[in-house]
Amino acid sequence: MKIEIIPQPLVGSVKAVASKSHAHRLLIAAALSKRTPAISIDTTSQDIEATRACLLQLKKDHPVLDCKESGSTLRFLLPVTMALKERALFLGCGRLPQRPISPLKEEMEAHGCKFINKHRKKGNSAEICEIQGRLQAGVFTLPGNVSSQYITGLLYALPLLESGSQIRITTPLESRGYVDLTLDVLKQFHIEVYIEEKEGCPTYKIPGGQKYLPPGDLAAEGDWSNIAFWIIAGILSSDSGIICNGINPRSMQGDREILNLARRMGGNLTVKGNSVLSMANTLSGIHVDASPIPDLVPILAVAASTAKGTTRIHNAHRLRIKESDRLASMYDCLSRVGAKITEEPGGLIVEGVPRLKGGTVSGYNDHRIVMAMTVASIVSEAPIIIEGAEAVNKSYPTFFEDFEALGGEYHVL
């Protein structure tokens, strides 16, 4: 879908969609429970539905798990599935079959699993790997600068094994908020994990033979990573602002850091209960360590594009292996619409300009790129045309409905 976004400020209120991160974790814990609790997820997405479908496959002796384009689904369920099954086949589409699963793969291979890579097409998906052999307990060693999804997958799987295990993180842990969210959900399901930490490098000690015991009915939180787009949109828009509802300021989601980052840039934000009022203000450039909040980088780059001074975003290497190479994607998109931006190996440097000039960009089959460039239209002199705008369905299918409800105008070309 190719759309034309008409530049104008946004105003009104919007409710956060369900957090993908929280929903994935609740659904997996529920599926591993003897008694399946009711999980309330008031909005869904392609990634959440991929996890639902894969969890149903766990009822089969030899499951075939089609993770679609969801990296979380794949990385969470690789160890979980092999803690339960002797053999499983994993599929994916888009960039997912090319995205890395090392060093999780090597750690699983050292603990009883054999990976067979075939890469054959199966309908719209491709085989990622077939795995044979049950996951065995032991000591799992991972560096702290790889995907936290590997740690989450092991934290879910290892309590199911007969003997105790450890996950040793050998370098300071990045994206800690995502691991903390996992630990919070596990605690709700009465799973015990003991943590020892030295110089920012935690060791997780997990007793074996545990049972997932649900606390009762549960609900997925509102998504901080997606509401961040509307928080920045409010700052870039009018004095009336945007009210963002349905988010927990005390959430374990790391992307709630958007509040602090936006305020550091000069954003005018008021938090009251489970709502944030985001109002227009002049922004200034800052330095951003992206290691704990990689999903916020696309919208932060948009905010920086018309902020006074220079914004430097660093420690963002992992953005190169997302749904797109997000550093290259944001560099290309913002360059095409008149931003002054430099791409570095591990980040971006953005020097603010008064206004963007508009133009045509690719959505790179990446939901966060499409949403970021839609918000960029607010500070553009001419329309921004986005090719492949349907990518928002991955995490936020109602994004353009909410955009329109806030006064946004777009045309399908």
Within its chain, how far is the Cα of 94 from the centroid? 16
From the list 66, 295, 366, 402, the catalytic residue is 295
Question: Facing residues of 53 across strands?
Answer: none
User: Given the structure tokens 């959430």, which residue do they identify?
Assistant: 251
Does residue 120 have a known ligand-binding role?
no
| Cα three-residue angle 1-91-324, rounded to 5 degrees | 45
Does residue 188 have a known ligand-binding role?
no
SS3 385: strand
Question: Facing residues of 277 across strands?
Answer: 243, 270
Does residue 99 have a known ligand-binding role?
yes
Does residue 368 have a known ligand-binding role?
yes
Does residue 175 have a known ligand-binding role?
yes
φ, ψ for residue 367 (rounded to 5)? -55, -40
Six-digit token string for 349: 């440097």
Question: Facing residues of 40 across strands?
Answer: 219
> What is the β-pairing status of strands 121-122 and 287-289?
unpaired
Within its chain, how far is the Cα of 287 from the centroid? 22
Active site residue 255: no
Does residue 25 have a known ligand-binding role?
yes
Tally of CB atoms within 10 A around 411: 11
Under 8 Å between Cβ of 295 and 313: no
Does residue 320 have a known ligand-binding role?
no
Does residue 147 have a known ligand-binding role?
yes
Cβ-proximal residues to 170 (8 Å cutoff; 6+ apart), any chain: 141, 142, 143, 144, 201
Does residue 20 have a known ligand-binding role?
yes
Type of residue numbered 366: D
Cα end-to-end span (Å), the chain: 8
Distance of alpha carbon 24 from alpha carbon 9, whole angstroms: 34
Residue by residue, DSSP assigns 227-261 as: HHHHHHHHHHS-TT-EEEES--TT-S-GGGGHHHH
| Residues annotated in a binding site for 3-phosphoshikimate | 20-21, 25, 147-149, 175, 295, 322
Active site residues: 295
| Residues annotated in a binding site | 20-21, 25, 71, 99, 147-149, 175, 295, 322, 326, 368, 394
| Residues annotated in a binding site for phosphoenolpyruvate | 20, 71, 99, 149, 326, 368, 394
